[in-house]
Structure 1
Amino acid sequence: MVRQRAATILLLTLLMLVLAACGKTSEVSEEKPQQQDTPVEESGTQTIEHLKGTAVVPQKIERMVVLSAAYIDHMLTIGEKPAGVNVEVRYGGDYLPYFADQLEGVPTVGSADSPNLEAILQIDPDVIVIESRTAENTYDQLEKIAPTIVLGTEWLDYEDDATYWTQDLMTFAGMYNKVDLAKEKITEVEQQAEQLKAKIAQLDQKKLAYLRVREKTLQIYAAKGHPTNTLLYHDLGFEPTTVTPAEQREDLSMEKIADIDANFVVLEVDPNAEDYLNNINASSLWKGVPALNEDQVYTTDSFWLFKGWGVIGRSEIINEVEDMIQ
């Protein structure tokens, strides 16, 4: 009996040990799925396709550095403030005036052509966004600081697509989960253009020349080839002059000035072009341009080429054109 009881106790002890071991095994097997289920980091990121491949950036971006006036416009349009912005050296090396109020306190990080890598490093950005032209020289260096997204291509690649300027804006909106807001802002500026187009359609004469005075030459912008051109001739309905090229800006000799049959002239003057502008103003050929006789020459602030790429800038151009045709 004693032996039987001892054997029974031994069996019970062994059974308890086996059950305990099974319990531990089941505990381990229950914990394993939690260890394997590690997309906690992945769910906190997003993958962005761009001209250099893909970039993995945080789902919630806190600090974005942008090296383009267009990208500053895109961020401000969707209510986001950049952590660092480029400057335009030829325009004083500071914020572009039409962004200045909204960028107060934002660090500047050099130009798009020569970014200040140390200044960018100090910001410790989550992501850097640059244009394709910037990427040619500095992409590898910037990529070492933070994931770097390369946007933008040549406008002429998109031929007659007058909405091309919206594509990069939608990329920004997607990164911040603000696509609906971006669409709303695009619609607003398109409606603003449509209203002005209706007024321009009422004009008896609406030929427009968009000119740029450079240090030693006068250039005329094309009817296409840039979103500012497309805004003027497509969205607003101005007619190109007989010397307005179709797709790419051209130099105009002094003799060619006589062929500018424009009722309206938009004149952009480079900072170093005052002497050449004086030569043009002194020319009898210039004085024969219809727009001069009709007092319809409008000098811009030299930022239209930047403004054409974004909602904020395009809205400002539309307002300026409306003042011009009053």
Structure 2
Amino acid sequence: MTKNIVPFIIAMLTILVFLAACGSENRSTDEASSSNGDTNAQDKRIIEHLYGETEIPEKLDRVLSLRPSFTDHILALEEKPYAVTGEEQYGGGYIPYLADQLEGVEIVGNQASIDLEKILSLSPDLIIIDDYLASEVYDDLAKIAPTIVLGTEDPEASNDPNFWQEDFLKIAEIYGKTELAEQKIKELDQKVVDGKEQISGLENKGLAFLRIRKDAIQLYAESGHPMNTLLYNDLGFEPSDLTDPLERKDLSLEVIPEINTDYIFLQVDSSGGPDNMGTIKESSLWQGLPAVQQGNVQETDFWIYKSWGVIGRTQIVDEVLSYIE
């Protein structure tokens, strides 16, 4: 009888040990699953933006920047976008002042014609767009990847020439680099202060900013655009006699002499602008301008684009100071 019980006890003990081992293994698996769940939850975060809230990955490797100023912001944060929009002004390529930092970056059409098929093929982690583009393709982009919309619906804020800083700080939040962004803004502010001090020492500091287009000569206003505010308000140039406080306006060649200013900075658009500029330079009205006669006319490299970001604005200040030396 005793001999028969012993094998039975041994068998029962073996079963109990096996069940205990299974239970331990299941608990380990459950704990691992729970741990992984916590990790996965920590790998995502919520970003508030113009179109609501969007969950984005903690680690960002493939960020698409679909506006030049956003590309400036990303590069200023010492990151690199995975893809950007090209610029029609430059044959569909990179915006020139950032081109050396964008080598190897994919181009996904331009703001007037986004290449959705190309974007889909890139499997992005995140897409950053402005409110104008969002009104056209947000739903399509949001189906491809998390899409953040920057900008504002507040008319007063949208007209604030310093609103670019809000976009910069939002992108810094996305990358977890808010302190770096604030540092970059402070450094730029100090550069502008130093530049203004140098410009204040000029005996004559009247300025007109012209844009030469295929069939137009445009005189930029004193405010209403980040470039205008940088030149006149922040750096302290004085607007020309024809410069409007608020509105950009078209000029005829006949009224050019009324500009009456010490410096002329200008942008020549790539399409048709050079031919128009050639005609303007041949005019005696142009040649009679004090700024022309004194050699104070400088063609800029598209400050209108540069003025929306830290990198571009820094370059503008450096270029301005080189012009007045």
Report the TM-score, using the length of structure 2 for normalisation: 0.85
Tell me if 1:299 matches 2:265. Answer: no
Aligned partners of 2:288, 2:155: CA distance in 1, in Å? 33
Distance 1:42 1:250, change over 3 A: farther
Amino acid at match of 2:273: A
Tell me if 1:258 matches 2:265. Answer: no
Structure 2: any 5+ residue segments left out of the alignment? 1-22
Matched position secondary structure for 1:81: coil
Aligned partners of 2:291, 2:254: CA distance in 1, in Å? 17
Which range moves more in the overlay, 286-295 or 99-108?
286-295
Question: Which residue pairs with 2:275 in the alignment?
Answer: 275
Report deviation, 1:162: 5.0
Query: What do you get for the CA RMSD once the two structures are aligned?
Result: 2.7
Matched position secondary structure for 1:99: helix
Following superposition of structure 1 onto structure 2, how do residues 60-71 of structure 1 map, counting pairs within 5 Å?
60-71=59-70
Matched position secondary structure for 2:113: coil
Following superposition of structure 1 onto structure 2, how do residues 160-175 of structure 1 map, counting pairs within 5 Å?
161=160, 163-175=162-174
Question: Which residue pairs with 1:193 in the alignment?
Answer: 192
Contact 1:155–1:226 (CA<8 Å) still a contact in 2?
A: no
Aligned partners of 2:252, 2:153: CA distance in 1, in Å? 27
Aligned partners of 1:79, 1:290: CA distance in 2, in Å? 43
Matched position secondary structure for 1:255: helix
Question: Which residue pairs with 1:218 in the alignment?
Answer: 217
Aligned residues: 302
Question: Which residue pairs with 1:144 in the alignment?
Answer: 143
Deviations 1:165-195 (A, max 9, x none): 2111101111111111111111111111111
Following superposition of structure 1 onto structure 2, how do residues 122-141 of structure 1 map, counting pairs within 5 Å?
122-141=121-140
Deviations 1:256-278 (A, max 9, x none): 21210211101100112122212
Contact 2:217–2:250 (CA<8 Å) still a contact in 1?
A: yes
Which range moves more in the overlay, 133-142 or 214-223?
133-142
Structure 1: any 5+ residue segments left out of the alignment? 1-23
Deviations 1:16-55 (A, max 9, x none): xxxxxxxx9xx99xx79x8699554433222222222221
Aligned partners of 1:61, 1:219: CA distance in 2, in Å? 42
Distance 1:304 1:154, change over 3 A: farther
Question: Which residue pairs with 2:116 in the alignment?
Answer: 117
Contact 1:109–1:115 (CA<8 Å) still a contact in 2?
A: yes
Matched position secondary structure for 2:97: coil
Contact 2:210–2:264 (CA<8 Å) still a contact in 1?
A: yes
Contact 1:156–1:247 (CA<8 Å) still a contact in 2?
A: no
Deviations 1:277-307 (A, max 9, x none): 1222222322232211221000112x21111
Matched position secondary structure for 2:85: strand
Which range moves more in the overlay, 209-218 or 97-106?
97-106
Distance 1:270 1:192, change over 3 A: same
Distance 1:156 1:214, change over 3 A: farther
Matched position secondary structure for 2:267: strand
